[in-house]
Amino acid sequence: MPCLYRSQLLMSETYITYYHSPVGLLKITGTKDYISEVSFHDTSQKAEGNKKHLPPLLIQCVEQLIQYFQGERRQFELPINQPGSSFQQEVWGELIQIPYGRTISYLELARRSGDSKATRAVANANGKNNIAIIVPCHRVIGSNKELVGYAGGLWRKKWLLEHEAKVAYGVQTLF
């Protein structure tokens, strides 16, 4: 089952946990029903999550991220939810459709979203994605095949793309 996208946030208790990944500290936020954030944080920050027991969904999210980084998972199977306009939701839905180990340009993403002239709007929506890796905004690159724009830093984007290429195709370096 692929990621399920919900169009609006439901009121529920929020939980936070952290995972020390190969690309740095990841903050994972969600409820018992959905994941609402996976974001990069400096390891200098204090990584304290909820003191109470985490719901199974957040534990499952960490486990799936571990599997991803170990090259054992190519698709996430988690309910996700983040607030955004209908256009942003559409763009994020398109991001989930980009196959593992592949990239598309911002122009192609704009075309898939219905308007090839909306490249800037698509890039802006891409940049507002709060569920890194799971909603794979790192798979969007410039039309000239250059790495451009990534909230987690271009070094992380490069690492993620090289990781996926190595797992998917045995390719050592893309860039």
Q: Could you say which of 137, 140, 141, 167 is catalytic? A: 137
Q: 141 forms bridges with which residues in the sheet?
A: 105
CA distance 130 to 83: 9
* 85: phi then psi, degrees, rounded to nearest 5: -70, 170
Instruction: Reply yes or no on whether 61 is catalytic.
Output: no
CA distance 98 to 164: 12
Name the residue type at position 18. Answer: Y
Give the gyration radius of the chain's Cα atoms. 16
Residue among 17, 59, 8 nearest 38 (CA): 17
Pairing between β-strand 15-21 and β-strand 140-141 as defined by DSSP bridges: unpaired
Residue among 127, 135, 131, 154 nearest 23 (CA): 154
Q: What tokens appear for 16 in the block?
A: 């936070």
What residues are annotated to the active site? 137
